[in-house]
Amino acid sequence: MSLVLVGLWLVGLGACDLGRPSHDLLSRGRLLGCLVAGLAPLLVGLVLLDLGAGEVVALFLLLAVALVVWLLASARAMDVELPTRSRSHARVVAFAAPVAGAAVAVLGVQLVGSEPNWPARLDATLLARWPAADLLVATGVVLAQLVTANILVRLLLDAVGVPATSGEKQLKGGRVLGPMERVFLTGLGALGELTAAAIVVAAKGLLRFPELQRAQRDRGLPADGPSDVTEYFLIGSFASWLLALGGAALIHLA
């Protein structure tokens, strides 16, 4: 089964979130910019596929709704000024929106009459070495690993009672190192280099260990006991690795 629509959905989702790498709250102007950045590739991609006009409109509307819901719900879920109950409800909706978009994309694949191909004038270029659909999926996976995955990890940490904001104060650079690590692990996984990926995972633990011990001491906790910073590191890291492995699996399936 072709995953071209799944790749297109991830491109739209990832492009949308690129406008808010360090902004938990969205101003009206930034919100509009994110929507344009996400909806534009969705519309262009659907138009270029072998679909009827009605199918293009239906798929675009469904994916657009999922994108808008994700953007609004995830921003609301990370608004610390809102009541806990409201944030919890928004978090559930935020988790459901990307899944709904992916489900629409998977079901919509049946409407695609043929795989997208590169124009003939590109036959002599480097792009011609990869099928257009596979490259679209890989691009979507990489874009989703940058900011979207960061937001998903933050929402998960909030959901299990380990607020990301407090953990970030103890372990610096998570918002930058996370995307770099996920893209690297996704690339290694897509190439089948799982041993190298395991070495990267082990190295991260060794490098972060002194910071975890220092955070324990700063909070007056026993060095060998658990803390919210340790939970932040473990849960956040495992969630991040799972997203990277999921991306690598999608590239393989494409």
For 68-115, the pLDDT digits (tens) are 999 999 988 888 788 888 889 999 999 999 999 999 998 888 877 677
Tokens of residue 3, six digits: 């995953």
Asked whether residue 213 carries a pLDDT value surpassing 80, the answer given is no
Helix (H) or strand (E) run with residue 73 in it: helix 53-77
Nearest CA among 145, 81, 158, 112 for reference residue 1: 112
pTM above 0.95, yes or no: no
pLDDT at 142: 94
Mean pLDDT to the nearest integer, 48-61: 87
- What is the rounded CA–CA span in Å between residue 140 and residue 11? 4
Distance CA 216, CA 41 (A): 46
167-176: b (≥16 Cβ within 10 Å) or e: bbebbeebee
pLDDT in tens, 56-76: 899 999 999 999 999 999 988
Mean pLDDT confidence for 19-48: 84
Distance CA 155, CA 163 (A): 9
Torsion of CA 28, 95, 248, 8, to 10 degrees: -50
pLDDT at 203 over 60: yes
Q: Which residue has the tokens 């071209």?
A: 4
Reported as a single tens digit per residue, the pLDDT across 128-149 is: 677 778 888 999 999 999 999 9
Q: Comparing 34-43, 91-100, 107-116, 204-213, which segment has the lowest mean pLDDT?
A: 204-213
Alpha carbon distance 71, 34 (integer Å): 8
Quick check: 196 pLDDT over 60?
Answer: yes
Query: Is residue 60 a contact partner of residue 43, using CB atoms and an 8 Å limit?
Result: yes
Q: What does the CA dihedral 46, 47, 53, 58 come to, rounded to 10 degrees?
A: 30
Scan for tokens 């473990």, then name that residue: 234
For residue 151, pLDDT beyond 60: yes
| Domain ranges for the chain | 4-116+123-253
- Give the model's confidence band at 116: pLDDT under 50 very low, under 70 low, under 90 confident, else very high: confident
